[in-house]
Structure 1
Amino acid sequence: MFRTKIGSLAISLSLLTLPVIPSFIAAADEIEEVVAVGTRRDARSVGDSPAPVDVISGSDIKNQGAVDVDYMIRTLVPSFNVNTQPISDAATLIRPANLRGLPPDNMLVLLNGKRRHRGSVISFLGGGIADGAQGPDISAIPSIALKKVEVLRDGAAAQYGSDAIAGILNFVLNDSAEGTRLEIKQGEYSDGDGETWRIAANAGMPFTDDGYANFSMEIQEQDPTARSAQRGDAASLKAAGVPVWEHPFGNGEAQVWGSPKVSDDYKFTANIGLDLDDSKKFYLFSNYAEKNVLGGFFFRNPNNRTGVYDDGSDIRLIADAGQAAGGARTCASNVDAKAGNLVGAALAAYTNDANCFVFNELFPGGFTPSFGGDVTDWSIASGVSGTTDGGTEYDISVHVGENRSDFYIENTVNPSLGPQSPTQFNPGSYIQLEKNFNMDFVRSIPMQSFDLSFAYGFEWREEQFEIINGDVASFTTGPYFNQGFGIGSNGFAGFTPDIAGVWDQQNYAIYLDFEGDVTENLVLGLATRFEDFDTFGTTTNTKFSALWRATDSLKFRTTVSTGFRAPTPGQSNVSNVTTASISGTGELVQQGTLSPTNPIAVTAGGAALQPEESDNLSFGLVWDVTDALNVTIDAYEIEITDRIALTGNFSLSDAQRAALVAAKVPGASDMQTFRFFTNDFDTTTDGIDVVATYSTELMGGVTDFTFVYNETDTEVDRSTLLSASRINALEALLPESRWNLSAVHNVGDWTILARYMYVGESEYYYGLNDLGNPDITTLDDQSQLDLEFTRDFGNYQITLGAENITDEYPEKDTGVTCCGAIYPEFAPLGFMGAFYYLRVGIDL
């Protein structure tokens, strides 16, 4: 109903303000010339935008200790959040970010105003907020390449298509034709780990006499961090004389919580433009990035890890080579796994028998798999833009982009292979490939009392997701399977040829976009977009916007829109298994993810995915209080129906498990529960954004103050298959309020930056208490202070800085943590402590 009403309202209001539209509009053409993202008109200030837009300069981005762009934006935009993902499978490789409390695939990312391809990783473990999301890899963009970042905090699917529900991030590349800059940064945490170094360079040069060529590169390495204590079970084993596995990233712990090791991290961009004549321009921009990310999984206890040491019912698994070869069993069976640790003579009894084998011989103290991947990202976009003799601006472009994750897992086994199992595997790869073709046109149409900006265009897009099967050892069913041993590389089973494949989705779109200053003080806009997908059908979305200049210093603005997010081919077809820990207990379970059309998923309510639909409403003001003080306040509401998400976990029967094994679903033999993607629930997200800037002369220099505040509250309005923990995460895991206050003081050759960040309380659900009631723990608020001191020596600058200079940590809470974690893994500002760094910039 809401969608019908706002579509009618938007059209009616626009028709009231537009007299007679000339018939030649049908032949008019336009280009998307994005200066402040969200409009196709000529350049205008952010304050004149009907929708809230933040513009972050390149210098603002670099003035902090983080080395990846996603963390840099988190520092500057409170409604944007990203966290380290410890022990989160593939989400460790590409961190899921969120805007306004919504998952990463509800946020559209642009590069130079063109849609950027999404990442190959589906976040099966996304901290409750991003579970099942497949968003773009923002970290692949080198920060030194950026001229600015535009953050549109408003729904824009009627203008840009799928995903633009929470808003848009537009990364604008440096287009300077001169100058070379080199930056070197090194830092580490107060605990002495996480050493990070980065070398970056940007060079601009003329491209003939009529163009520019700008190139950037970054090389960086980051050592892992660990903020862990010894697990209780590992400590007990060690006290009993068991040689417990020690994780190489920790300090003797069997399992670590922290950030992964990032190595061979290379990023490159090119941005080229050439004026072909006075009215036509050729452009090309591209990126290439690769990195290796290595993290850890949960510890496998040498007495009770199901499918490796134990059959799941406290019976120790003993492999019998004779039985595996088709003969009679001679090794012991039905041995109580709790009878005692296999050390000394107890272990020797199996070691000395060539026919019998226990995995304690290979890993006597248990093991912790190391999981990682090689991530490669590339894209290239090219086009021609210009203006016709009739005054129509145009932009015709093509774009191809790919993100690939090649997974590997070490220090683990395929239990079904018994003593012949290797300990290193390549489980396979995910590849996301996207192709875009765009024709965008804009023309100014003289009306009776104003000029109407009329835009229209066409887009064709293909999105392809591919699964490449792993090496044979990572998925094969070995001869010991019938003795109770699990199939596939433990922790991340390899993708079988039956699961591997290529799935694609094509769509085309046409759009119309009207905008004009209908009076001296009133700006109105109307956009509508029709899209046709070959998978689920058609969708039409509309957006109405208005800006009223009440006085010279006060403006009011509003937008009303509908939007959508199309399911990705990956979400519709992927199958996987992940190892998760039951909150509060540390018990490991194998969670299977099935295709929503898998027959077993269908029995639990699975069906082909349909698009999410959204209704966005925003209202705000822009107030120039004085020449030095500017304030913007924007309230918003986002209603999303039929949200796509992973269901809660369903118990798997023996018959269902056997069917999945027969279908060669990876890891099915150990699978204890299953889940699938579904259009299951509706949410309403309400919030408010406040941005205030003030500049003054102070202490012999100029000081610029910036205050940004965000409050976001999400409620789950309807759900049939979500678990209680997932609902709690959606509603309360992210802090309801965040704010930052920063001051930049320039005096002489010195620049001093101080930034204070605050996040409010949040909640974490970790099961039911003894009375069967929800057990919810409140995570206390967090804050941190960042400082930077920069001295400019002319052609080079030296910066000393610290993030979280007072070395603050989140409050310890044993109710939330388990498995050796000291701090809540979902702490909004992290749990690594202070980070100190030195940065040197050289202008050549």
Structure 2
Amino acid sequence: MSPTESKHHNLPLTAIALAVSLTLVAPAHAADTGGSGEDSGVVVVTGSRVSGRTVENSASPIDLLTQEDLANSGSDNLLGALVALVPSFNLPGQSPQPDLGSIVLGVQQRNLSPAYTLVLINGKRRNTTAIVSEGGFSGSAAVDLGLIPTSAVDHVEVLRDGASALYGSSAIAGTVNVILKHSAQGGNLSVKGGSTFKGGGENASIAIDKGLALGDRGFVDLFAQLNRQKPAIRSSPLNRGYLYYPAIRSDGALSTTLGANNSLPAGTTPNPKEATRDNAPWKNSGQKLDVRTGSAGFNGEYDLGSELTVYSFGTYADRRAYSAQNFRSPFSIYSNTLARSNGWYGFYPDGFTPQESTTDRQVQLVAGLRGVLAGWNWDLSTNYGKDKVDVYTVDSANYALPASAGQTDFYIGQNAYSLWSNTLDLTRSVDTGWTAKPLNLSAGVEYTRERNQLKPGEQNAYLGVIPGDGGGGSGGSQSLPGYLPRDASDTSRHSYSAYFGAGANITQAWFLDGGVRGEHYSDFGSSGLIGKLSTRYDLSPAFAVRGTASNGFHAPALQTVSYSNTSGRPNGLISSLVRPDSAAGLALGAVPLAPEKAKGYTLGLTGAFTSQINYALDFYQTEVEHTLGTSANVGLDRTNADGLFRDASGAVLNPAQLAILQGYFTSAGLAIPQQGNGLTAHYFTDVGDVRSRGLDVTVDGKHRAGAATWKWNLAANFNTSAFTRISGIPAKLQGLPNISTLSLTIQQNTLYLAPRDKQIFDVTYKNGGFSANVRETRIGKVRRFWTNADNAAAGLPTTGEWNAGKLWTTDLTLGWNLGHGFDAKFSAFNLFNERARRVPQISRTNASKAQYQYAFDTSGPLGADLGTQYAATLNYKF
């Protein structure tokens, strides 16, 4: 199906279910505290290889999210569920994750990069996305949690602790282990529909799963889900004085100029079309994505004998998404000489909104054998995962092409990443005579091979990116130009690892668990020795102390080390992201990337106030050395009317500085073509060391009142982050103007995207077939900094800070059992219509105030002004 066909392919919105259910998700924050009643005794397999550990007696903080919790989160995928249920998770709004980052979203744990959270499926590593982030979380390639449907999940174990010694690279901030459904009987069919009360954002899903017995020796569980999410646009209206059609000159011709901030120039009259224009033409604020996702999978195992079992599971997801970009006004088209001469003003007389589009296919297939040999439990498995993303722009244009050709959709190129790992895990228990309980030993080896590919797009998508390529410096297809052949890549690497661990109750009250791991990568060598030591001491049934000390590492993603990209603008300026180990990168002061290394500590108190009320407090600190970011932009820009060379920030270069930069760019093979207006270049680099520290708190209880039960949970996260070291400016760039390692934007994206604190309070009431859930979420301080040089003329501050947080939202779900296998629920999210904060007027530039009536902070936890949302669900168990 072409991108245009899929764009207009509508999934039927499912009928709204009848009922009404009031639910308060207890984010299984049963986490750490032993959970609420029945959750506390569930054996968990994350955070330790010692058998028989539960949330209640764990030495590390763990959240256990049940099927009920996931269903009541309001999200059909794991990404949204984690953000709704676990306070230490944060999903920034759209502005810090631009372009493809607005489709492939990254979620933070404990205010750290999404790349630092490892994701497992049934204990096996999940491959990351093929998309590397250029902005926001620069250089990161995280697991796309939006492609994991909640309907396939039995439960989720969230380890809030560093675990590189257990699982290898990426497990710096924590680990999410998704346990798939594994029933040998029964099934479930669910339909859901919803929208926003303000309008837009219609969504629907249908999910089914079925468990089948394989005789009396095994089972297979099959599942499938289909989701549809439509946009809910919340863009600010324009001011009436802001023009976006060409003005009319006194001779009746159209003017190619407008006044300052799109005001009416002298000697002209407004275009009559301004009176009937769409006054909110920008469609990229709010829930701007139009998404359709289909997924399917299986999970099964079969006993071949008393001590030998074969198992396998697989998942497949196909997501087609569209993300609206900036509106191209009729004036911007007409004033572009190339666009006007090629007829695009006549083709788009009222302007156009290009959309970036992806077709994302993710597959994972795991097969293995486990058994017992000479007292050792062994597990031998092979695991293959691949993410392939085809990228398009639709409803767009390339001004280098004649509009009469009618091409508005362009193929940008393909990103593909695959991971193939083979593991042998061994565990056994040994009676030592000196431990209160048997000593649990574990060991294992792993071989992994990765491959990353970037394939160029069609020629018409990148024609005009490089001046002199016959495209007239058009910049390629509008909103996102095609990947150039010179940026194509096909890279691979392999790695080996081995680990050893031991853990036991030294006494009945004292538990000790430790492990070490080493990895060797073919591209950057050894990780060094990685270790973890966890302990817990139960002073009484009501009070225990626990703690962990660990070090970790994150190998730069293969997608990151092999990625380069070239884009152009209609003004002829070229922008390049170059590989740090390339000739261009080295010429501009880059050094090859090295692993990010971490040290982590937690210290906690946990226990029970009464037999019905549990609690946990965990203090943590994680320090990450050599944090990945992007370098300053180094540039030669002569796009101004005066023709003078400027740097990437607009400062005029003196002759000596110009000579230095021209020499660097020439030696980098990036000499400016004579037809061009300049170029800028940057690269991924070590920007410094970051420390995140904070406190997690959970308290939960379960009570009975006659036939009714009450479950409640309070979970909170408090955190702060800081740079403890900022990398120096490369020697080659010292002395040049406006070169800094960390811009204000990069600092904000690294330290302040997550709120300083977040609390979730849930109450669940059940009585017979009726249930009621209420979830109250408080978002604390969200720091936002601003710089506004326009204020200087008015004698106002040119820099400042404001708080985009201190928000409260209430979610309510009412439901009941209808009998005969049916149950229904009705949910309202953000019940009292809490709004995202508006940006303070003092921080807005003159251009912004002239254009928009107001502006929202779209980087915060609420994103934009969606307001109250509702959903209804009908389930049938069979």
For Structure 1 versus Structure 2, the TM-score category normalised by the shorter chain is: 0.7 to 0.9
Deviations 1:416-460 (A, max 9, x none): 345577322000011111101000001112213222111110011
The reply on whether 1:823 has 2:873 as its aligned counterpart is: no
- CA–CA distance in 1 between the matches of 2:193 and 2:667? 49
- CA–CA distance in 2 between the matches of 1:701 and 1:781? 34
Normalising by structure 1, report the TM-score. 0.84
Q: How does 1:753-832 map to 2 (within 5 A)?
A: 753-769=773-789, 770=791, 774-794=799-819, 795-815=821-841, 822-831=855-864, 832=866
Deviations 1:517-538 (A, max 9, x none): 1111111122100100011110
Q: Which moved more, 1:45-54 or 1:102-111?
A: 45-54
Q: Is the 8 A contact 1:648 1:726 kept in 2?
A: no
Q: Is the 8 A contact 2:399 2:477 kept in 1?
A: yes
Q: How does 1:2-81 map to 2 (within 5 A)?
A: 35-81=44-90
What SS does structure 1 have at the residue aligned with 2:485?
coil
- Name which of 735, 750, 768 aligns with 2:770: 750
- Equivalent in the alignment of 1:511: 499
Letter of the 1:125 partner, please give it.
G
Q: Is the 8 A contact 1:754 1:787 kept in 2?
A: yes
- Equivalent in the alignment of 1:276: 304
- Equivalent in the alignment of 1:119: 129
What SS does structure 1 have at the residue aligned with 2:461?
helix
- CA–CA distance in 2 between the matches of 1:299 and 1:409? 14
Q: Is the 8 A contact 2:487 2:565 kept in 1?
A: no
Shift of residue 47 of structure 1? 2.2
- CA–CA distance in 2 between the matches of 1:675 and 1:159? 35
- Equivalent in the alignment of 1:24: none
- Equivalent in the alignment of 1:196: 203
- Name which of 870, 873, 877 aligns with 1:836: 870
The reply on whether 1:381 has 2:366 as its aligned counterpart is: yes
Letter of the 1:107 partner, please give it.
T
- CA–CA distance in 2 between the matches of 1:555 and 1:283? 38
- Equivalent in the alignment of 1:266: 294
- Equivalent in the alignment of 2:549: 560
- CA–CA distance in 2 between the matches of 1:178 and 1:246? 61
- CA–CA distance in 1 between the matches of 2:383 and 2:667? 39
- Equivalent in the alignment of 1:492: 480
Deviations 1:488-531 (A, max 9, x none): 21221111222112111211000011111111111112210010
What SS does structure 1 have at the residue aligned with 2:243?
helix
- CA–CA distance in 2 between the matches of 1:224 and 1:749? 35
- CA–CA distance in 2 between the matches of 1:447 and 1:670? 75
- Name which of 686, 694, 697 aligns with 1:690: 697
- CA–CA distance in 2 between the matches of 1:613 and 1:470? 36
Q: Is the 8 A contact 1:545 1:557 kept in 2?
A: yes
What SS does structure 2 have at the residue aligned with 1:56?
strand
- CA–CA distance in 2 between the matches of 1:85 and 1:737? 20
The count of residues paired between Structure 1 and Structure 2 equals 756
What SS does structure 1 have at the residue aligned with 2:559?
helix
Deviations 1:649-677 (A, max 9, x none): 333457599879987999x9687543211
What SS does structure 1 have at the residue aligned with 2:81?
helix
Q: How does 1:566-577 map to 2 (within 5 A)?
A: 566-576=555-565
The reply on whether 1:541 has 2:530 as its aligned counterpart is: yes
- Equivalent in the alignment of 2:646: none
Structure-2 change in CA distance of 1:483 and 1:208 (3 Å)? closer
The reply on whether 1:715 has 2:715 as its aligned counterpart is: no
Normalising by structure 2, report the TM-score. 0.81
Deviations 1:566-603 (A, max 9, x none): 011211121235799xxxxxx99985422122444334
Higher relative contact order (CA 8 A, sep 6+): 2
Shift of residue 401 of structure 1? 0.4
- Equivalent in the alignment of 1:370: 355
Shift of residue 476 of structure 1? 2.8
Deviations 1:532-570 (A, max 9, x none): 001111012111111111112211101000000001121
Q: Is the 8 A contact 1:474 1:489 kept in 2?
A: yes
Letter of the 1:105 partner, please give it.
A
- CA–CA distance in 2 between the matches of 1:171 and 1:229? 40
Q: Which moved more, 1:221-230 or 1:86-95?
A: 86-95
What SS does structure 1 have at the residue aligned with 2:683?
strand
Which consecutive unaligned segments of at least 5 residues does structure 1 have? Answer: 1-32, 311-315, 320-349, 351-355, 581-586
Structure-2 change in CA distance of 1:483 and 1:756 (3 Å)? closer
The reply on whether 1:210 has 2:217 as its aligned counterpart is: yes
Shift of residue 709 of structure 1? 0.2
- CA–CA distance in 2 between the matches of 1:546 and 1:375? 42
The reply on whether 1:732 has 2:732 as its aligned counterpart is: no
Q: Is the 8 A contact 1:431 1:465 kept in 2?
A: yes
Q: Which moved more, 1:587-596 or 1:201-210?
A: 587-596
Q: Is the 8 A contact 1:487 1:669 kept in 2?
A: no
Structure-2 change in CA distance of 1:245 and 1:509 (3 Å)? farther
Letter of the 1:828 partner, please give it.
P
- Equivalent in the alignment of 1:94: 104
What SS does structure 2 have at the residue aligned with 1:176?
coil
Q: Which moved more, 1:361-370 or 1:562-571?
A: 361-370
- CA–CA distance in 1 between the matches of 2:775 and 2:284? 30
- CA–CA distance in 2 between the matches of 1:245 and 1:597? 55
Deviations 1:387-428 (A, max 9, x none): 22x221111000000111111102332333455773220000
Q: Is the 8 A contact 1:186 1:195 kept in 2?
A: yes
Letter of the 1:368 partner, please give it.
T
Structure-2 change in CA distance of 1:423 and 1:75 (3 Å)? same
Q: Is the 8 A contact 1:661 1:669 kept in 2?
A: no
Q: Is the 8 A contact 2:474 2:572 kept in 1?
A: no
Deviations 1:34-80 (A, max 9, x none): 83301111122112211111111111101132222211111110101
Q: Is the 8 A contact 1:244 1:366 kept in 2?
A: no
The reply on whether 1:457 has 2:457 as its aligned counterpart is: no
- CA–CA distance in 1 between the matches of 2:678 and 2:875? 52
The reply on whether 1:446 has 2:431 as its aligned counterpart is: yes
Shift of residue 484 of structure 1? 5.5
- Equivalent in the alignment of 2:260: none
- Equivalent in the alignment of 2:35: none
What SS does structure 2 have at the residue aligned with 1:730?
helix
Deviations 1:755-794 (A, max 9, x none): 0001112122333545595333321311100000111123
What SS does structure 1 have at the residue aligned with 2:165?
helix
Structure-2 change in CA distance of 1:445 and 1:618 (3 Å)? same
Q: Percent identity?
A: 24
- CA–CA distance in 2 between the matches of 1:590 and 1:712? 40
Q: Which moved more, 1:804-813 or 1:396-405?
A: 804-813
User: Superposition RMSD on alpha carbons, in Å?
Assistant: 3.0
- CA–CA distance in 2 between the matches of 1:234 and 1:212? 68
Q: Is the 8 A contact 1:507 1:534 kept in 2?
A: yes
Shift of residue 641 of structure 1? 0.5
Structure-2 change in CA distance of 1:155 and 1:590 (3 Å)? farther
Q: Is the 8 A contact 1:140 1:289 kept in 2?
A: yes
Q: How does 1:142-157 map to 2 (within 5 A)?
A: 142-157=149-164
- Name which of 399, 403, 417 aligns with 1:415: 399
- CA–CA distance in 1 between the matches of 2:165 and 2:816? 47
Letter of the 2:190 partner, please give it.
E
- CA–CA distance in 1 between the matches of 2:86 and 2:753? 18
- Name which of 99, 102, 109 aligns with 2:119: 109
